[in-house]
Amino acid sequence: MSNRFKSRYDDDINLFEGRWHLAQYAILMALLLAAPWLLGTYYLGELTAVLVWSLAGLGLMLISGHTGQVSLGHAAFMAIGAFTNLALMLRGWHFLPALLASAVTSGVIGAIISRPILRMSGIYLAIATLALSIIIEDVAIMAEPITGGVAGVFAPPIALFGMEIDRYATPEAFYYLCLAVLVLVTLGYLNLLRSASGRSFLAVRDSEVSARALGVNVARAKTLSFSLSCAITGLAGALYAHLAQAVNYESFLVLISITLLLQIVIGGLGSVHGAFFGAIVVVLLPQLIAIASDYLDNTAGIQIAAYPGLDTALFALLILLMVIYEPRGLYGVWFKVRTWLQLFPLYRKGMFRRTRTYLKTERQR
Amino acid sequence: MDILQLLVGGIANGCIYGLLALGFVLIYKASEAVNFAQGDMMMLGAFLGVTFINTSYADLPFLVGITLAALILGLFGYLLDRFVLRAIFGQPQFAMVILTIALGFLIRFVAGVIWGHDPTSLETPFIGRVWTLGELMIPVVDAVIIITTVALTSILYFFFARTRLGVAMQASSQNQMAAYYMGIPVKRINAIVWALSGVVAAIAGVMFAAKGAVEPSVGLLFGIKAFAAAVIGGLGSLPGALLGGLLVGIVEPFAGRYLPSGVGQIAPYVLMLLVLILRPGGLFAQISQKKV
Amino acid sequence: MSLLQVKDLSISFGGVKAVDGVSFTVEPGEVFTLVGPNGAGKSTIFNLISRLYEPSGGQILFDGQDITSLPAHKVAGLGIARTFQNIELFDHSSVLQNLLIGRHCRRNTRWFEELLFLPKVRRSEREHRLLVEEVIDFLDLAPYRDKLIAGLPYGVRKVVEIARALSSQPKLILLDEPASGLSVEETQNMAWWIEDMQKDLGLTVLMVEHDMSLVSRVSNRVLAVSEGRPLAMGTAAEVQADPKVIEAYLGTEATS
């Protein structure tokens, strides 16, 4: 399957590399569409959460993974998206225009702040966005008419195409809604990546000077990437609000910003797959721990549930191992396994050996 | 007088931020890495201090307790570098950011398991004692903090500017490979710096617990604020870190007093963003254009 | 009319005059080479022409147009492409991707059209690809088309960088030390390619190079610079024989 002969330029332009590739994704899509029948209500809810966090991860992946500008503050844009959506719906807007407004508001706010923020780079950018996230926490408390202050706001039910969509009353409908948004965004994302804008993002990530020399307006590329990234994250925030049913400032703490970045790192920075892999880990790890904890309690009488924050700690341990042994994240693991399968039995041990690198100063750019 | 009183408290707090910011700057100067677990190392230092000094634990003399805490955390920093950080030696700055964020999570969890989640204060010999200068009341704790910080900053400053080791550290941060070629033991230097920053974090932690109360999650936000202070100072400058710390420490109580509630808490971050927007490399910027 | 006119160009870094009153003109279709000792300001002149640096004085005219205060990202669109001394490729992308980024200044689609991947975008992608394939053929890069830059040998990367510059369909190409770090054979190939660029593609080449055998072989005219000032101009042989140039390279003791 790796010996595919390309005969037209379209083979490189198309989203899917040939029939087999298309078939794989068709099967995945069919499974996702059949999920409400395959899974119970509880796990369908968890799968919905995976979709929402994938969407948020995609948003961050665009600016951090593909444009190379690390943001430690994306929960702020989830907050903007969520509060915009709920505030508008509570004032009588329909869901879809309100969802669109979430994306637009987050995107526009992202565009406005991107100019001063994206003049910074590396570690300075990271801390600036981190500060932004902390500031938004307090703003969410202070802007009471919109955000409901400390108490927050409840999500009203969604009326769409004559249906009432509610996370608990009609979980399948809400699942399909999230799936539809995610698929549309992913397609748009992939389209962008295979055309000039996406390439200019990669160029900015890898070498700003040569991007500039090749005609890329670096400031503009960063602004576009950042505001699109904020818009996607805003969408995720709006969906999250309906998933959680109620949000307040605590829903978008700075810790969420940090976790979101860790999520895409564990998934694999710079790959679309990574956003999805990361979301799966973030959502399912606590589940696995809960199951393991029950099992240990029942069989051996060990109560690991007595240690709060164990899931975060295990997540952190996973990150630690990933950074040391597989910097390309779960995507890297997946890539290696795939290559191994494709080349079987010809895989050589040194195939993915990393070359020795030395740290160079990042004070010059 | 009210203002002066606020100022004294602010300076003392600012010194703790400054001390922690020193830890950030030390590591940044030597390896251009940023230790996002610095705040959590401080928390660890605070708990170690409590463990050695408080009567309900080991009940050792104050100075002995501090020394032990500093030594243990120094060793911790050294081992951290030797067995964890060295594994990603040579990788870009970003890998270190992620790694230390993860380390912070782990340290927080372990501290929670060992010491629990109740806020604990350090019992110092000068607890509750106050010097009065006219109407101004200076808690002895604050005075001790200020003196320690100034002394420590001066020592580190001269160390970096004057000693061979200090200069070698600076060289290894700018170009690892070139530093290697010049015969600088880059890896050993990294380990020394991490040990040093552990010592500084322990001292900051003890001060922190003497002035307030420590619990496992204090490190995160306190660390971020101290990092903001280091960034305000320019990340590469030790006096800059202290200055940044003082600015943050002073701005906080004043903003809390004179600005509407809510704004006071975010004042340090707003200050940092303003500094970064006006001077993207901090007050003592060290970023220059890349040569092509 | 001259393709590139540099008039009295100057720049200083922190009081040091890196380029101090350099003037020269490059005629269409010629290979013009800058030589000089390290630190003479050759690369700085390149960076000034590609607008990465802000000159403190002087003027740069390209094709009759004053580009002295043009933003750097507009230079490529006018027809000036360049390579870098220390190779600035996009390491995590394939050769093909790198060359397609070279087409960026010729893009004719907007981001929202790309988001929807309208038929127009597909058409434009095919056109870009066609032109990039011509460059790949020209520089024999077909075996490396889908390889990641990070895994390529140094010599190939040098060629890819030239290919990326050519993809933008320039009138003038600036080559910053194209042969540095190359083996004798690779330098030989480089000479052929520079000649082909000049003869087959009708390109004008402005080059900085230390390897005098390459310089003598391909250059029409050579300008020697030292300490930011022009020293001598002429054919490669003339410049090499110039006593001022010898002095600049070997120091004053050698001539006395």
Q: How many helices (H) and strands (E) does chain B have?
A: 11, 2
User: What residues of chain A lie within 8 A of the CB of B177, using their CB?
Assistant: 358, 360
Per-residue pLDDT, C204: 95
User: Distance from first CA to last CA of chain B, Å, rounded?
Assistant: 56
Mean of pLDDT values over C95-122:
93
User: Buried b vs exposed e over B101-131: b needs ≥16 C-beta within 10 Å?
Assistant: bbbbbbbbbebbbebeeeebebbbeeeeeee
Shared domain for C96 and C152, answered yes or no, is yes
User: What residues of chain B lie within 8 A of the CB of A128, using their CB?
Assistant: 272-273, 276
Instruction: Please indicate, yes or no, if residue C15 is contained in any of the structural domains.
Output: yes
DSSP string, A125-173: HHHHHHHHHHHHHHHHHH-HHHH-TTT-EEPPPEEETTEEE-TTTSHHH
Name the stretches of chain B with pLDDT < 50.
none
Confidence of residue A243 (pLDDT cuts 50, 70, 90): very high
Tens digits of per-residue pLDDT, C23-77? 999 999 999 999 988 888 898 999 999 999 999 999 999 998 999 989 999 999 9
- C170 interfacial to chain A (CB closer than 8 Å): no
Q: At what angle do helices B93-115 and A310-325 cross, to 10 degrees?
A: 150
Distance from CA of B128 to the nearest CA of A (A): 33
Out of A132, A261, A327, closest to residue B91 by CB: A327
Q: Which residue of C has its CA nearest to B290?
A: C52
DSSP state of A326: -
- B3 interfacial to chain C (CB closer than 8 Å): no
Distance (Å, rounded) from C-alpha C173 to C-alpha C90?
A: 19
Which one of C86, C90, C97, C105 makes the best mutation probe of the A interface by having the most chain A beta carbons within 10 Å? C90
DSSP string, B124-165: -TTTT-EEEETTEEEEHHHHHHHHHHHHHHHHHHHHHHHSHH
Shared domain for C45 and C96, answered yes or no, is no
Tokens of A334: 């997946």
Shared domain for C113 and C1, answered yes or no, is no
- C31 membership: H or E segment, kind and range: strand C31-35
Distance (Å, rounded) from C-alpha B239 to C-alpha B246?
A: 11
Helix intervals (H) in B212-237: 218-233
Q: Which residue of A has its CA nearest to C93?
A: A202
Per-residue pLDDT, C114: 93
Instruction: Please indicate, yes or no, if residue C112 is contained in any of the structural domains.
Output: yes
Task: Name the CA radius of gyration of chain B, rounded.
Answer: 19
User: What residues of chain A lie within 8 A of the CB of B31, using their CB?
Assistant: 359
Tokens of A295: 């099992």
Instruction: Please indicate, yes or no, if residue C69 is contained in any of the structural domains.
Output: yes
Distance from CA of A169 to the nearest CA of C (A): 34
Distance from CA of C85 to the nearest CA of B (A): 7
Instruction: Please indicate, yes or no, if residue C84 is contained in any of the structural domains.
Output: no
Instruction: Please indicate, yes or no, if residue C12 is contained in any of the structural domains.
Output: yes
CATH of residue C256's domain is: 3.40.50.300
User: What residues of chain C lie within 8 A of the CB of A196, using their CB?
Assistant: 103-104, 107, 109, 114
Distance from CA of B289 to the nearest CA of C (A): 10
Tokens of B87: 């594994």
Per-residue pLDDT, A350: 63
Per-residue pLDDT, A308: 75
Shared domain for C185 and C160, answered yes or no, is no
CB contact under 8 A, A361 and B262: no
Identify the CA nearest to B35 among candidates B288, B219, B212.
B219
Interface confidence, given as ipTM, is 0.90
User: What residues of chain B lie within 8 A of the CB of A126, using their CB?
Assistant: 34, 97
Q: How many helices (H) and strands (E) does chain A have?
A: 15, 4
Out of C82, C93, C126, closest to residue A213 by CB: C82
Tens digits of per-residue pLDDT, A172-186? 999 999 999 999 999
State the total domains in chain C.
2
Shared domain for C22 and C95, answered yes or no, is no
CA torsion sign, C71 to C77 to C82 to C83?
positive
Distance (Å, rounded) from C-alpha B231 to C-alpha B224?
A: 10
Chains that touch B (3 or more CB pairs under 8 A): A, C
Contact between B194 and B81 (Cβ < 8 Å)? yes
Identify the CA nearest to B268 among candidates B289, B240, B246, B235.
B246
Shared domain for C57 and C97, answered yes or no, is no
User: What residues of chain C lie within 8 A of the CB of A364, using their CB?
Assistant: none
Out of A10, A205, A214, closest to residue C102 by CB: A214
- C158 interfacial to chain A (CB closer than 8 Å): no
Which one of A190, A199, A208, A360 makes the best mutation probe of the C interface by having the most chain C beta carbons within 10 Å? A199
Q: Which one has a higher pLDDT value, A55 or A299?
A: A55
Q: Which domain holds residue C53?
A: 1-79+170-256
Number of other CB atoms surrounding residue A303 within 10 Å: 10
Q: Which one has a higher pLDDT value, B174 or C95?
A: C95
Answer with the one of C151, C168, C185 that is the final residue of a domain.
Answer: C168
Answer with the one of C153, C168, C183 that is the final residue of a domain.
Answer: C168
CB contact under 8 A, B281 and A132: no
Out of A258, A313, A324, closest to residue B101 by CB: A258
Task: Name the CA radius of gyration of chain C, rounded.
Answer: 19
Shared domain for C96 and C220, answered yes or no, is no
Chains that touch A (3 or more CB pairs under 8 A): B, C
Domains of chain A are 17-351 (1.10.3470)
Out of A10, A200, A270, closest to residue C92 by CB: A270
DSSP state of A252: G
Identify the CA nearest to A15 among candidates C125, B289, C18, B220.
C125
Per-residue pLDDT, A305: 66
Which one of B175, B289, B292 makes the best mutation probe of the C interface by having the most chain C beta carbons within 10 Å? B292
Residues 73-102 of C with CB under 8 A from A: 73-77, 81-82, 84, 88-93, 96-97, 100-102
Which one of A115, A311, A323, A357 makes the best mutation probe of the B interface by having the most chain B beta carbons within 10 Å? A323
- C104 interfacial to chain A (CB closer than 8 Å): yes
- Count of CB pairs separated by less than 8 Å, B with C: 7
Out of C81, C90, C109, closest to residue A203 by CB: C90
- In this structure, what are the phi and psi dihedrals at residue B267, rounded to the nearest 5 degrees? -55, -45
Q: What are the angstrom distances between the C-alpha of A206 and each of A199, A225, B206, B243, C2? A: 11, 15, 43, 35, 35
Q: Which residue of B has its CA nearest to C45?
A: B292
Strand pairing class (A153-154; C4-13): unpaired
Distance from CA of A312 to the nearest CA of B (A): 7
Instruction: Please indicate, yes or no, if residue C45 is contained in any of the structural domains.
Output: yes
Shared domain for C190 and C179, answered yes or no, is yes
> Ramachandran region of residue C153, left (φ > 0), alpha (ψ -120 to 50) or beta?
beta
CB contact under 8 A, A312 and B109: yes
User: What residues of chain A lie within 8 A of the CB of B101, using their CB?
Assistant: 258, 261-262, 316, 319
Distance (Å, rounded) from C-alpha C26 to C-alpha C172?
A: 9
Tens digits of per-residue pLDDT, C186-197? 999 999 999 999
Per-residue pLDDT, A106: 97
User: What residues of chain C lie within 8 A of the CB of B177, using their CB?
Assistant: none
- Count of CB pairs separated by less than 8 Å, A with B: 156
Confidence of residue C255 (pLDDT cuts 50, 70, 90): very low
Shared domain for C75 and C175, answered yes or no, is yes
Identify the CA nearest to A226 among candidates A136, A113, A130, A316.
A113
Question: What percentage of residues in chain A have a pLDDT greater than 90?
Answer: 54
- C168 interfacial to chain A (CB closer than 8 Å): yes
Contact between C62 and C227 (Cβ < 8 Å)? no
Confidence of residue A365 (pLDDT cuts 50, 70, 90): very low
Distance from CA of A209 to the nearest CA of C (A): 8
pLDDT exceeds cutoff 60 at A44: yes
Q: Which of A9-18, B265-274, C17-26, C125-134 has the lowest mean pLDDT?
A: A9-18
Question: What percentage of residues in chain A have a pLDDT greater than 70?
Answer: 93
Q: Which residue of A has its CA nearest to C161?
A: A210
CB contact under 8 A, A254 and B90: no
- C27 interfacial to chain A (CB closer than 8 Å): no
User: Buried b vs exposed e over C86-108: b needs ≥16 C-beta within 10 Å?
Assistant: ebbbbbebbbbbbbbbbbbbbbe
Answer with the one of C127, C142, C168 that is the final residue of a domain.
Answer: C168
Average pLDDT, chain C: 91
CB contact under 8 A, A9 and C125: yes
Number of other CB atoms surrounding residue C238 within 10 Å: 14
- A246 membership: H or E segment, kind and range: strand A246-247
Shared domain for C73 and C191, answered yes or no, is yes
- B290 interfacial to chain C (CB closer than 8 Å): no
Shared domain for C108 and C67, answered yes or no, is no
Q: Torsion over CA of A80, A82, A84 and A88, rounded to 10 degrees? A: 180
Residues 6+ apart with CB under 8 A from C130: A9
**CA atoms in the 13 A half-sphere facing the CB of A137:** 20
Tens digits of per-residue pLDDT, A256-282? 999 999 999 999 888 999 999 999 999
Average pLDDT, chain A: 88
pLDDT exceeds cutoff 80 at A188: yes
- Maximum average pLDDT range among A114-123, A222-231, C176-185: A222-231
Distance (Å, rounded) from C-alpha A35 to C-alpha A195?
A: 33
Tens digits of per-residue pLDDT, A62-76? 999 999 999 999 999
Confidence of residue A359 (pLDDT cuts 50, 70, 90): low
Strand pairing class (C172-176; C204-208): parallel
Shared domain for C59 and C39, answered yes or no, is yes
- C176 membership: H or E segment, kind and range: strand C172-176
